[in-house]
Amino acid sequence: QALTNQTKRAVPRQQMEDYGKTILSSLPLQILIFFNNWFSLAWFMMNFALYIYKGYHFHFPYAAYEWELSMLVLMAFIEYSRLSLASRGNRTEQIPPLLWSVALAVPMVVGFAFFLALQTYVLRVDVVLNTIALCFVSLELLFSVVTSMSFYRGFTG
């Protein structure tokens, strides 16, 4: 009897309430987010290096160089915010952060499509990098929606 009471005191109440609860978080989504964090860092550094190269070797129309560089920096902030929200929503099994990450995926898709086809000078490496980025965002978008539906079904019973 004494051992049981000591054991109950040692385990926090929240852990006792969560014992036996089904885990709804998506491992494939979390794996995608993990690898996309590293790819996004590489994407930003490669694109920044490419813009230095393009600025040195090509002539840009008035203000296009500055516009595209500022868009690159803005996309980096949005992407890391999106990945952070998706990861937090998945790990804590909360729907609102996942839905915010889905909403932030829309400007990211538009941005990657711009860098894929509409920027002033598109190199082959741009096509490869932005195609991979679009694949990551598309898969994460799909998994985020499915995981959100899973959370909703799990919470409503």
**Which of 9-18, 19-28, 83-92 bottoms out in mean pLDDT, i.e. has the lowest?**
9-18
Which residues are CB-contacts of 79 (< 8 A; sequence separation ≥ 6)? 40, 108
Residue 21: per-residue pLDDT:
72
Which residues are CB-contacts of 93 (< 8 A; sequence separation ≥ 6)? 24, 25, 151, 154
The residue ranking higher by pLDDT, 52 or 3, is 52
Average pLDDT over every residue of 118-135: 96
Residue 11: per-residue pLDDT:
54
Helices (H), 93-114: 95-113
pTM: predicted TM-score of the whole model, two decimal places = 0.83
Q: What percent of the chain has pLDDT over 90?
A: 80
CA distance 148 to 83: 15
Q: What's the chain's length in residues?
A: 157
- In tens, the pLDDT along 28-74 reads 999 999 999 999 999 999 999 999 999 999 999 988 999 999 999 99
Kindly report the number of other CB atoms within 10 A of residue 132's CB atom: 15
Which residues are CB-contacts of 39 (< 8 A; sequence separation ≥ 6)? 132, 133, 136
Q: Is the pLDDT of residue 102 over 90?
A: yes
